[in-house]
Amino acid sequence: MIFSGQSNLPLAEEIAENLGVPLGKSVTERFANDCLFVRYEQSLREGDIFIIQSLTPPVQDHLVELLMMIDAAKSSSAARVTAVIPYYAYARSDKKDAPRISITARLVADLIQTSGADRVLTMTLHSAQVHGFFKVPVDHLSAEPVIANYFATRVDNLENAVVVAPDAGDIKRAISLARRLALPIAFIDKQRLSDTEVASRGLVGEVKGKVALVIDDEVSTAGTLTQAVDALRQNGAQAIYAAFTHGVYVGPAIDRIEKSPIVEVAATNTCIYNGRSSDKLQTLNVGPLFAEAIWRIHRGESVSSLFT
């Protein structure tokens, strides 16, 4: 049985359609005092339950709704509950890189397990190590095949392209995509100045006269992306495309993308974006990939071929 929280109903419907099952019935309401209320409107007894919820803004509401849905499913005698979290927002808080802070990626993993999740299915964690914060099994999907296919079909003259990591954390991702597309890589030495501002301290690799394919786990305020575009233009890149697993697009993101000389920005539908539209935005569908993973988990089949 497939259920959805409120964060990304179109993706949940897409997954259910690909599986050929109806989306399960549940309601979420808000009390006058701002507390949430969740109720399933069908029996879950002995069912294999998959709850789809991306941790998109408002993140705290969506997280609590997910925890409540897991808890309610367990106490309704579900046989097994899988939390399907296409976008695990707190994965960026994955280390103690300043004094007196919370490693919230681990805290949220603890909450999900405490609420009763038997397993987790997710995609492109900010850092792969977040996987290890869970004691229950985690299936960690990759959007790389979908992104590689987007670049291969959308970019003319692909043999003249270079895959670009916009910061050091993306180098392994860039190497993997570059190998798949048989392309070289370049990388930008990014310095984060604040939550929304970043600066480029230099570029390593040859981009002059080339088509640059920027790849990152997520685009949030597009600060990282636009500093990468500036550095690439200064170093002579001829055209620039970008692709992300998670298109969060908050704050100044769309303005920045619109003003930047970037040709196109693609992101998968792990996050739903309802803001101002832009001709530069493309959406890539990962619904079939999640559906395939859910089918295999349900049948007890191997999922590992979907990880690369």
- Active-site residues, by number, are 190
Least distance from C-beta 58 to ligand R5P, angstroms?
17
Residue from 305, 303, 267 nearest 285 by CA: 267
Q: Which of 5, 47, 86, 223 binds ligand R5P (CB under 6 A)?
A: 223
Determine if 228 is a binding residue for ligand R5P (CB under 6 A). Answer: no
Q: Kindly indicate which of the ranges 19-27, 138-146, 206-214, 220-228 contains the residues binding ligand R5P, using the contact rule CB under 6 A.
A: 220-228
**Who contacts 182 (Cβ-Cβ below 8 Å, separation ≥6)?**
none
- Alpha helices per DSSP H over the chain: 9-19, 59-75, 104-115, 144-154, 171-181, 223-234, 253-259, 287-299
Determine if 4 is a binding residue for ligand R5P (CB under 6 A). Answer: no
Complex with ligand R5P: residue 3 or 249, whichever CB lies closer: 249
Place of tokens 């005092």: 33
Determine if 217 is a binding residue for ligand R5P (CB under 6 A). Answer: yes
Determine if 143 is a binding residue for ligand R5P (CB under 6 A). Answer: no
CA distance 116 to 81: 8
Complex with ligand R5P: residue 14 or 217, whichever CB lies closer: 217
Least distance from C-beta 257 to ligand R5P, angstroms?
10
Q: Which of 8, 54, 221, 260 binds ligand R5P (CB under 6 A)?
A: 221
**Coil, helix or strand at residue 95:** coil
Complex with ligand R5P: residue 139 or 217, whichever CB lies closer: 217
CA distance 140 to 293: 10
Helix then strand then coil, in percent of the chain rounded to 5, is: 35, 25, 35
Rounded to 5 degrees, φ, ψ at 10 are -60, -40
**Coil, helix or strand at residue 7:** coil
Residue from 270, 272, 273 nearest 121 by CA: 270
**Coil, helix or strand at residue 10:** helix
Report the site for ligand R5P in 85-114 (rule: CB under 6 A): 92
Determine if 139 is a binding residue for ligand R5P (CB under 6 A). Answer: no
Report the site for ligand R5P in 187-216 (rule: CB under 6 A): 198, 216
The CA-based angle 257-123-144, given to 5 degrees, is: 65
Q: Which of 222, 232, 239, 265 binds ligand R5P (CB under 6 A)?
A: 222
Residue 166, preceding peptide bond in cis (omega within 30° of 0) = no
Binding pattern for the stretch 50-89 against ligand R5P, x by CB under 6 A and - elsewhere: ----------------------------------------
Determine if 220 is a binding residue for ligand R5P (CB under 6 A). Answer: yes
Determine if 224 is a binding residue for ligand R5P (CB under 6 A). Answer: yes
Chain residues binding ligand R5P by CB under 6 A are 92, 126, 167, 169-170, 198, 216-225
